Structure 1
Amino acid sequence: MEENKQAQENEKDVVEEVEDVEQEIVEETDREDDQSTSGSKVEALQKEKDEVYQRLLRVQAEYDNFRKRTQKEKEAERKYRSQSLITELLPVVDNFERALQTDVNGDGAKQFVDGIKMVYRQLSDALEKEGVEVIPTKGEAFDPHLHQAVMQVEDDQYDSNVVVEELQKGYKLKDRVIRPAMVKVNQ
């Protein structure tokens, strides 16, 4: 905001300078007509006017660049505003998934697990609405931007450089990787 005011003040100063130089040129031209002085002063004033005009153009360009840059920064901030919260919630999602993998016996325990499943679904839906996606892994070609290879195995069922197993889910927020998927990769 302060840079914006500074750019506007610089622009005003340059405009005023251009106007002053133009006035000097007019006055000098009038004097020259009256006094028949040499054209070197007029040329010098015209050159100075051109320099001030070029400075004005540069200040305007700088101001436009500043405005565009701040607009892009604001858009990125809006797009990824929930990233820190999502990063904090991913371990919670992991723990829910682990809890849902346990075997239960008895009606009371099954009802408890059903309640956990509902909470997990609500949390997953909320993350999905914010733009969180699970990174696909098993059977996919290894991508170092999306996957983190923690092991290499030799398996004839898979082609070379293909993900064999997912050890930990990876997540993206819109187009940004929040956490890469930990995977086993075929050699």
Structure 2
Amino acid sequence: MFNEKKPLTKEETIAADIEESSVEEQTGDNDTLNEESAAAENSAEEQEIIEETEESEEDVIARLQDEVEAEQNKYLRLLADYDNFKRRSQKDREIASKFRSQSLLTDLLPVLDNFERAMAVETKSDDAASIMKGVDMVRKSLLEAVKREGLEEIPAVGEPFDPNFHQAVMQEKDDNAEPGIVLQELQKGYTLKGRVLRPAMVKVNE
């Protein structure tokens, strides 16, 4: 009725043991190979991470060096700009101090012209002569005051014409003078510490 399992013979038992041992040995070898492979992969990954980390540190160092150099250059440019600003400011202050009276003296030029015209008028009486003497004293006092501020007359008559200081409004032929020589001064010119406030209006020999 029931199938009874036949007992294995001695030869069959030995063969079965050998087969089982072979299977276990093969399984163990496979496990060892898998472990070695996994260990190798882990070691390679760790080495790659280490190399990437080293490269990143080098990149960081290079970037920081570039940033430091850029900041140093920025600082040097700012320092140079500040030095230039100080020099310009100092120069502007010196110019402002040197020519502080330019506006006032420019306004006084017509007054000096009027004194010149007044002194050119001929006097025919003692009273007029006395008045002209007082006017001349005032003129001289004013000239001394403006000269102390650096105002100077521009030489004209007998001088070679210089467009930097003279304004030619007339020409005339005079054989007794060299060509280009100023023959007559029609209006005085003035300089303030070397700067032309007003050129002299002159008549020039052809």
Tell me, yes or no, whether TM beats 0.5: yes
Tell me which residue corresponds to 1:8.
Answer: none
TM-score by length of 2: 0.71
Q: RMSD of aligned C-alpha atoms?
A: 1.4
Residue 40 of structure 1: how far off its partner (Å): 2.1
Deviations 1:133-153 (A, max 9, x none): 000011111110100000111
Does residue 82 in structure 1 map to residue 101 in structure 2? yes
In the alignment, which residue of structure 2 is the partner of 1:68?
87
Is 1:103 the counterpart of 2:122? The answer is yes
Structure 1 unmatched ranges of 5 or more? 1-35
Structure index of larger Rg: 2
Q: Is 1:159 aligned to residue 164 of structure 2? A: no
**Which runs of 5 or more structure 2 residues have no equivalent in the other structure?**
1-52
Counterparts of 1:168-187 in structure 2 under 5 Å? 168-187=187-206
The count of residues paired between Structure 1 and Structure 2 equals 153
- 1:56 is paired with a residue whose SS is helix
Q: Aligned-pair distance for 1:106? A: 2.7
Whether 1:91 aligns to 2:106 is: no
TM-score between the two structures when normalised by the length of structure 1:
0.78
Counterparts of 1:1-187 in structure 2 under 5 Å?
Answer: 37-38=54-55, 39-187=58-206
| Percent identity of paired positions between Structure 1 and Structure 2 | 49
Q: Which amino acid aligns with 1:77?
A: A
How far residue 158 of structure 1 moved from its aligned partner, in angstroms, is 1.2
Equivalent residue letter for 2:198: R
